[in-house]
């Protein structure tokens, strides 16, 4: 795939968040509306096209840990706030930020995680569980060996301890399990098709009006050949 091949040519070990989402989108994974921008004017234009409120993030393949580097500005509501955030991010002393990602602000209390790892014995394995800060704290996740059938994907949802979070929640509708199953299957398919994809981390996968949306994503490249 072009995104992967171009990343390999420049010696990248990961895809940027935006590139990761472009890859996922090719396989039908719902992702945030977003645009990259290298100037404040372009960031403002992107925000206007997407619709306020928006999020600005430092963008680049070397910026995998944006939260720790303080490279995320949330809930920006107008042009003034976008310009201020752009200036702050691009003048960061923590990292060299050459462009920003302007992204729709996805509201939702429920955060899930979907991932892919490569096991030495079983090959590509899909992971699903609670996302956000709870991924590492609670370790409530399930794994299946790719490729996944729809039955596998549905069964994973029943495997986590906090499966009730997939039902009606705080006045919000239940999670669309069919769409969620599509995402799990798609991540497994990416792992099967591209040996160069060593890991995938979609975290958080937020639930907005019952629909899963990939808010942040990272694709780690390995030394495959496909």
The 3 state secondary structure assigned to 146-165 is: CCCCHHHHHHHHHHCCCHHH
Give Cα 33 distance to the centre of its chain: 12
Residue 151 burial (10 A CB sphere; 0-12, 13-18, 19+): exposed
- What's the rounded Cα separation, in Å, for the pair 181 and 31? 15
**Which residues are within 8 A (CB) of 58 and not within 5 positions of it... i.e. 6 or more apart?**
66, 69, 71, 72, 89, 92, 95, 97, 100, 101
Q: Which domains does the chain have, with CATH numbers?
A: 2-30+108-221 (3.30.470.20), 34-104 (3.30.1490.20)
- What's the rounded Cα separation, in Å, for the pair 170 and 167? 10
Q: Could you tell me the maximum CA-CA distance found in the chain, to the nearest angstrom? A: 53
Which of 154, 170, 220, 155 shows the shortest CA–CA distance to 190? 220
Can you give the pTM of this predicted structure? 0.93
109, two tokens: 């209390």
13, two tokens: 């070990």
Q: Are 104 and 33 in contact (CB under 8 A)?
A: yes
Q: Are 34 and 64 in contact (CB under 8 A)?
A: no
- pLDDT exceeds cutoff 50 at 226: no
Q: Give the tens place of pLDDT for each residue, 134-149.
A: 777 778 999 999 999 9
Which of 195, 186, 185 shows the shortest CA–CA distance to 220? 195
Q: Are 126 and 114 in contact (CB under 8 A)?
A: yes
pLDDT of residue 132: 80
Q: Give the tens place of pLDDT for each residue, 1-54.
A: 899 999 999 999 999 999 999 999 999 999 999 999 999 999 999 999 999 999
- pLDDT exceeds cutoff 70 at 122: yes
- What's the rounded Cα separation, in Å, for the pair 90 and 107? 26
74, two tokens: 């949330």
């Amino acid at each position: 795939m072009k995104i992967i091949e171009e990343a390999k040519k420049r010696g990248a070990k990961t895809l940027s968040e935006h590139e990761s989402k472009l890859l996922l989108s090719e396989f039908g994974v719902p992702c945030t509306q977003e645009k990259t921008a290298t100037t404040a004017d372009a960031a403002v234009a992107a925000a206007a096209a997407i619709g306020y409120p928006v999020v600005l993030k430092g963008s680049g393949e070397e910026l995998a840990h944006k939260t720790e580097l303080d490279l995320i500005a949330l809930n920006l509501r107008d042009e003034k706030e976008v310009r201020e955030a752009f200036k702050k991010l691009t003048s960061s002393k923590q990292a060299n930020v050459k462009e920003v990602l302007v992204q729709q602000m996805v509201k939702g209390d429920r955060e899930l995680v979907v991932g892919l790892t490569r096991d030495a014995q079983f090959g590509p394995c899909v992971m699903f569980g609670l996302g956000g800060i709870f991924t590492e704290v609670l370790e409530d996740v399930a794994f299946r060996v790719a490729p996944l059938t729809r039955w596998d994907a549905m069964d994973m949802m029943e495997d986590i301890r906090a499966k009730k979070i997939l039902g009606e929640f705080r006045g919000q509708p239940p999670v669309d399990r069919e769409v969620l199953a599509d995402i799990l299957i798609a991540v497994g398919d990416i792992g099967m098709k591209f040996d160069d994809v060593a890991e995938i981390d979609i975290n958080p996968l937020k639930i907005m009006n019952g629909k899963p949306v990939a808010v942040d994503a990272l694709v780690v490249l390995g030394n495959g050949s496909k």
